[in-house]
Amino acid sequence: SLDVGLDKMRSDLGALLAERDQKNQALQEELAERLRTEEALDLSRAKFSAIFDASPVAMTVSALGGDFALRDLNAAWVNLFGRSREAMLASPDAELAVWKSAHDRSTVMDVLARTGEVSRQACWMVGEAGQHEILCEISGRLIAHGDEPLLILAYEDITAKHRYEEN
């Protein structure tokens, strides 16, 4: 009877160890999948960052909601508007200063809120602390980024084209 009891315990222990091994294998597979997903996400972020930073088109990334606070802007944007990247990112409402008309900004934001995107919306902007005006075609869209929806906008300077067409 002691032998039978020990055999049953060995059998139960063997079953528990086999179950543990299966669960460990499942966890290892899940961990490997998560690592592959994180690597793919890192690659995607690196690609976006490279395209964003190298783009000759002025671009911004803003938080959606309230004041649309800037999260990032590229070198082309700094060159077009003649404003410091650091100063623009440090102040939540700094982006307001580049819009000549609050009405134009409101129109762009309303279209984005209604449709999720805006395409080639012509707006007068202000460069270099108000020293000159820039006519931009603004295009962009809302994207989901975790819990924080973001707004990506591109600003194409069409000032010279506009002046040429006027004459």
Q: In a 10 Å sphere around its CB, with 0-12 CB exposed, 13-18 middle and 19+ buried, how is residue 155 labelled?
A: buried
3-state secondary structure of 139: strand
Buried b (16+ CB within 10 A) or exposed e, 95-130: beebbbeeebbeebeebbeeeeebeebebebbbeee
> What three-state secondary structure class fits 149?
coil
pLDDT average, residue stretch 35-46: 89
Report the pLDDT value the prediction gives residue 119, as an integer from 0 to 100: 96
Matching residue, tokens 């650091």: 86
Q: What is the pTM of this model?
A: 0.74
- Percent pLDDT > 70 in the chain is 97
pLDDT of residue 130: 65
Residue 94: the pLDDT is 79
Please name the residue ranges forming H helices in 55-150: 75-81, 85-90, 102-115
Burial of 85 (C-beta count, 10 Å sphere; 0-12/13-18/19+): middle
Q: Tell me the per-residue pLDDT of 109-150, one tens digit each, with 9 for 90 and over.
A: 899 989 999 999 999 999 886 678 999 999 999 998 777 889
Report residue 18's pLDDT band, with 50, 70 and 90 as the boundaries: very high
Measured CA to CA, the distance from residue 43 to residue 36 in angstroms comes to 11
Token digits of residue 29: 């597979």
pLDDT band at 101; cut points 50, 70, 90: very high
